[in-house]
Structure 1
Amino acid sequence: MIHEKPLILFDPFPRNEAMVFTPDVAAELGRLSTLVTHFGSRAPDDLVESVLADVEIIVGQTAMGKDRLDRAPKLKAILNVKANWEPNIDYAECQRRGIHVLSAAPAMAPAVAEYCLGQAISLARGLPAADRLFRDGLEKYGIGGNGRAYSLYDAPVGLIGYGNLGRALAPLLKPFGCRTAVHDPWLSDRYLETQGVVPASLEEVLTQSRFLFILAGVTSENEGFLDRAKLAQIPEDASVILGSRAEVVEFDAFLEMAGEGRFRAAVDVFPEEPVPADALSRQTPNVLFSAHLAGGLEPSYARIRDMMMDDIRQILAGLPPLRMQRAEPRQAAMARSR
C-alpha cells in the first residue's frame, strides 16, 4: 500500500479520546499523516498486521516483538502514552534498529509530586484527624489541638527513587529548607549532588527521615524490597507517602504497621486495582487513602498531548524526540509496572 503521507497507528488503550485524542490532536495528525485509529481496547492483530509494512509511528502500547519489527521496515518510533514500560516490546531490538521507544511518564510527575507534598503536610499536621474531631464536636483550638503535629520546615526528608517523580518533587521541597536525602541505586552520587540532594544508603534514608517518600518504580530486582524488617527501621511517627508503585513494599506489613500507628502513612497505589471490596486496606485505620488519584488530572493529560505532538513533529522532520522519556533497554525490560 502506498501512502503520500507517513502512516501513524494510534492505538492508545487504556487511554481514551478525551485523554489523548482531542479535536486539536486529531486535526493536526490528520494533516501530518495517514491516520489509523483504534479505541476501547488494544488494536486487534489483524489491524496491526494490516499496517505493519507502512507504519512509521505507533502511539500506544501495541505489542512489537522482533517478529513484528521485522515486518515494520519503516517504523521510526513507538510512543507509549502511559507512564510505564510493558514487556511486549523488544526494547533492545528497537535500539539496535534506531527506533525511538518513548514514554509519557514525565507528564504525570508534576501532579504526583504536588499530591505527595500535600499528603505529607496533611499527615504531619494531623489534618484528617482534626477534621474527624471537629465533626464529632471534640476539637481543640490552637496549640491544644496540635499536640502531635509537626512541620515540614527544616525537617529531614528521604526519597526512595529519583526518577521523574523525585525530580519533580525535589524543587517543591526546597522552600521548606529540608535536607533531602535520596537513595537510588541507578544513579551516581555525583549526579544526585548536582541535583541539590544528598546521596544516601537505603538504611540512612529509612532511619533518618521524618518524611519518607516512596517513589521507586517496580522492577524484577526490587519487587517487595521494602519488607517488614526494612519498614521497621522507619522512625516512630514519621510520615510516609507511598506514591509510586505498591509492589515495591511488603504491602500487608506496611498497612499493619501504619494501622497500628507505628508511622503515619498516605497510600495512593495498591497491588491490585480496582481494590477488592474486602481488601485489608478498607479496614485499616490511621492511613490516608486515595484511589490512584495522584497523577490523573486533566493538566497531566494536556502535558501528555503536548509532549506527544511535539515529539511526533520532531520525528516526522527527521529530528530526535525531545520531550518524552526514552526507553533504556535493560531498565525497560526489567520493569514490572502495570
Structure 2
Amino acid sequence: MTEPLIFLDPFPRNEAMVYTPDTAEALARMGRVVTHFGSRAPDDLVEQNLAEMIVLVGQTAMPKERLDRAPNLRAILNVKANWEPNIDYAEAAARGIHVLSAAPAMAPAVAEFCIGQAIALARGLPQANALFRTGREKYGIAGNGRAVSLYDAPVGLIGYGNLGRELVPLLRPFTRDIAVHDPWLSDGYLATQGVRPVALDALLAQSRVIFILAGVTSENEGFLDAASLGRIGEDALVILASRAEVVDFDALLAEAASERLRVAIDVFPEEPAPADHPARNTPNVLFTAHLAGGLAPSYARIREMMLDDIGQILKGLPPLRMQRADPGLAAKMRSR
C-alpha cells in the first residue's frame, strides 16, 4: 500500500519548533513526509502533492478549488494558535476534513504569564526596580503606597476560550470573585465553570483586575473603544494578552499615560512594533514583545498534540488533542 503523505508547511513556525529529530522520526514511521521551511510553501510544491496529501500541517491556503484537487485529504493541522481566513472551513467540514489548531498548547504558558503581569502591576514591581536603580527606593511600607493584592480582588475575564480556561485555575488561590464576559458562551455554561457571567459594562465597572483574552473577529474588532475603557474603575489593572485588534490601542495607551489605569501589554497592532511607535514613550505600562506563549515547553506541547492527532487520524479515529474549527466561527476570525 502507498504510504500516507504528510505535508509540512508550518511557516512562521520553524524546524526547531515543530520538526525536531524525534518528531521527524515519529512522522516517518507514520508515512511519507514532505517538508518546506522558511516561508510558505510555493504553489508548485503544494500542487505537486495535493492529490496524495492525507495530512497537511501548516497554514497553507486551502480554498475550495484546492480542496477539489486534494481528494484524499483528511486533516489540516494549524500549528499556530489562530484561524486564518485562507481556508474554506465550511467546505472542509462538509468533506469530513478535520481542521485543527494548536491553540490549546500555548494557553498554559500565556496564563502563567498573565499571572506574572498582574502581580507585577499590582505590587508596582517595574517602578520599584527603576527607583532602586536610581537610588530613590523606599523600604517596606513606605515603598508600598500604591501596592495592592490579588487576594480577594474582583477579577474580570473578557473572553473565555483556551486561555481563560487555563487562567481561572491559577487565579483560584487568590480570589473566588471571577467574572467572565463572552458573548459566544451561554450563562449556563459559564456557571458550570465556576465563574460569574456578566455583561461587558458591568465587568468593566466592577473588576479590579481585567484580563483581555478575546480573539479578534470580523464582528468585534475594536469593540473595547475609548468609551468602554473609560468605564473601567480608577487604578484598575488591565492586562492585554490576546489580540491588540480588539481594543482601541491608542486609547488604552492614553489611559495608562494619564495614570488612571495600570496596564500590561504583550501584543501590538503591528509586530514588530515600529521604532517610532508612541507606545515606546508611554509611561505606566509594562511592555513585553509577544513573549507570553512562545517558549520551549509550548512548542513541545504542539509537537506532542500534533503527533497524537495525526496518529488518530491515520487510524480513522477522531483527533483528541488539538482544537477543532467551528466553520462559522473560524471563518470570522481575523488573527494574524
| CA shift for structure 1 position 177 | 2.3
1:265-287, CA deviations, whole angstroms, 9 ceiling, x for partnerless residues? 00000000000000010010110
Gaps of 5+ in 1: none
Paired residues for 1:3-18 under 5 Å: 4-18=2-16
Paired residues for 1:289-328 under 5 Å: 289-328=287-326
> How much identity, in percent, do the aligned residues show?
74
Residue 51 (structure 2) pairs with residue 53 (structure 1): yes
Look up the match of 1:133: 131
Determine if contact 2:76/2:99 at 8 Å carries over to the other structure. yes
| CA shift for structure 1 position 99 | 0.2
1:202-238, CA deviations, whole angstroms, 9 ceiling, x for partnerless residues? 0111000000000000000000000000000011001
Counterpart residue type for residue 80 of structure 2: K
Residue 30 (structure 2) pairs with residue 32 (structure 1): yes
Kindly tell me the number of residue pairs found equivalent between the two proteins.
Answer: 336
Residue 117 (structure 2) pairs with residue 113 (structure 1): no
| CA shift for structure 1 position 133 | 1.0
| CA shift for structure 1 position 139 | 1.2
Paired residues for 1:112-261 under 5 Å: 112-261=110-259
Distance 1:336 1:56 in 2: 27
Counterpart residue type for residue 310 of structure 1: D
Determine if contact 1:236/1:263 at 8 Å carries over to the other structure. yes
Residue 274 (structure 2) pairs with residue 288 (structure 1): no
Paired residue for 1:68, among 66, 69, 72?
Answer: 66
Counterpart residue type for residue 40 of structure 1: G
**Secondary structure of 2:172's partner?**
helix
1:27-69, CA deviations, whole angstroms, 9 ceiling, x for partnerless residues? 1111211111111111111111111111100000011100010
Determine if contact 1:152/1:178 at 8 Å carries over to the other structure. no
| CA shift for structure 1 position 134 | 1.1
Distance 1:144 1:231 in 2: 31
Paired residues for 1:67-106 under 5 Å: 67-106=65-104
Look up the match of 1:264: 262
Distance 2:157 2:322 in 1: 23
Gaps of 5+ in 2: none
Counterpart residue type for residue 26 of structure 2: E
Distance 1:175 1:191 in 2: 22
Distance 2:134 2:50 in 1: 63
Counterpart residue type for residue 180 of structure 1: I
Distance 1:32 1:220 in 2: 38
**Secondary structure of 2:294's partner?**
coil
Distance 2:131 2:249 in 1: 29
Look up the match of 2:330: 332
